[in-house]
Structure 1
């Protein structure tokens, strides 16, 4: 689904023009009370006060993605052009900001090269991928891949995410564009293109997020979200389709690998009556959902995951998660009323 189409559908849901059955009764809670979310081995205490800033001095719009850099700092990407990048320490104290030129800032990936941190930013409004230093100096920009013959104009290319593999090659998901996955070397030279729009095994509807999965060191692969299909798809690094993982009821954003588990922000419950719902999903190395902070407990019937629904009005369009070195989770949200991230402290 395109960003414009999703916004239109969300507006229709808010006005009651689209109706779905309500499968669970969500409830709200006070900011002052302790609340524990999650299931089984992955439970978290909610901290709604983390990272709150003076919105007149350091505003956010959509908080799209977050990473932790080599110094342990939490780096947030927003598409507010007063400060596209906001850097916190783990306590939520503001350290620095930069960036005024990325109106469509969406994807954020940390790149480590010879002990130095860099960032890859995708900007769907500029139709570009931008590599920067950790303090915002531009290293290179990549325009739409006209040489592939898949794109007639730059407007058709709306990249949403990147991921970097061990040799420095990186992959780009054109999640708001023509749904291709592009493979570049570390210099930004195009090596391969695969995917495209559709519902087949090798195709995508909203190839929104992508990550490098090296948990099996002998067989590293790519995990790519097909958000409108409620699926994750696994591909080899050469672009060969390997498997589909179904996640019923979940519009999943970027997969995030931390140790042996996969973490996802689920933008919205597919069948939620409320347009601004959402939750977090955690999956183990066997592709089994083990915890859903903000949603129903994961349940399997005949080896199939039953559909998931929001149960607590905590998240509004969660868009990405960052797991720090203390196992705490930071949740960035899109279209949530210009809110700062939420911190979930592992218990």
Structure 2
């Protein structure tokens, strides 16, 4: 009886030790960021068996109403990987998006859908959360500016509350196309060019509702800025981010988050970080980047400070303000989690 009691106690102690050790490890990662916007990194969070659930480029991530983290990769063995916030794989699907790039979550009267852009197939798809395709948007030849489907390389979408769809052609002719909920073209603006109203790399787009009047924030990545337009396509202002080749803008409450694919310029691979702006569009924190400095109200050039990313491509902000960062061309790494501290 004494031996049995000893074994039971030892088993409990051993189990408690390993549980405590695991919790300590999760709480012992390095901390990054500035000005009260600091995060503890877990670069093992989304790691899976690459034989069963491989990734190529991890492009974008969203969180649905169930709290699940949905990630898009251009690996056709499983284009969509669905995690819980602890990093456990819950589901996976998708074999038809060799150029899966943009991922947007839309809630229509309590039902959620995904919008996926494919830069190889030159199309945009509306799908159910389990992958059933409901609508496909092709090259907008009715604009008169596209002569061939290959000129249309959509990188991102955003959907308004009335169902209107805005598509950013970030790798193609650089137009923003505006459709109604049924896919009928309503307007287009931008296009490649040197003027402020034009783009060189309209990589991402979001509707900004932090002000009284909603507006569109559009990335111009190679020009290190976000450009603000009215929903009618008229330019309003430019948010300049020196040294930051920003990807899509992501808004959660009053903050704006963005992955910075490269710093300095697009000729410096492997120099990415993640940036956070406040409600006044002032940079307050950089994860893996230099501390933001303003001189006479002007933001000074930013760059990578710590080599924790290679090419971060998107940021997902969960309901607890934790971050998940997906990376492009970074050795097929799975997403990292950054827990707010």
User: Which TM-score applies when normalising by structure 2?
Assistant: 0.91
Aligned residue number for residue 15 of structure 2 = none
Between the aligned partners of 2:225 and 2:121, the Cα distance in structure 1 is 28
Residue 286 in 1 paired to residue 280 in 2?
yes
Q: CA deviation at 1:114?
A: 1.5
Between the aligned partners of 1:243 and 1:51, the Cα distance in structure 2 is 37
Q: CA deviation at 1:196?
A: 0.4
Between the aligned partners of 1:152 and 1:215, the Cα distance in structure 2 is 38
CA contact (8 A) 1:104 1:126 kept: yes
Residue 268 in 1 paired to residue 289 in 2?
no
Deviations 1:44-98 (A, max 9, x none): 0001110110000000000000000111100000000000000000100000100
Residue 201 in 1 paired to residue 191 in 2?
no
Residue 185 in 1 paired to residue 177 in 2?
no
Q: Output the aligned Cα RMSD.
A: 1.5
User: Which TM-score applies when normalising by structure 1?
Assistant: 0.89
Unaligned runs of 5+ in 1: 1-30
Between the aligned partners of 1:147 and 1:272, the Cα distance in structure 2 is 33
**3-state SS of 2:96 partner:** coil
Deviations 1:196-250 (A, max 9, x none): 001211100100000010111x310000010011111000001010001110000
Decide which structure has the larger Cα Rg and report it: 2
Q: CA deviation at 1:188?
A: 1.0
CA contact (8 A) 2:222 2:265 kept: no
Aligned residue number for residue 97 of structure 2 = 102
CA contact (8 A) 1:272 1:310 kept: no
Instruction: Answer 1 or 2: higher relative contact order, Cα 8 Å, separation at least 6.
Output: 1
Q: CA deviation at 1:34?
A: 2.3
Between the aligned partners of 2:93 and 2:111, the Cα distance in structure 1 is 18
Residue 83 in 1 paired to residue 82 in 2?
no
Q: 1:324 aligns with which of 296, 318, 330?
A: 318
Aligned residue number for residue 342 of structure 1 = 336
Q: 2:117 aligns with which of 112, 119, 122?
A: 122
Where does 1:118-197 land on structure 2 (aligned, <5 Å)? Answer: 118-197=113-192
Aligned residue number for residue 210 of structure 1 = 205
Q: 1:185/1:344 Cα in 2 relative to 1: closer, same or farther (>3 Å)? A: same
CA contact (8 A) 1:45 1:346 kept: yes
Residue 313 in 1 paired to residue 307 in 2?
yes
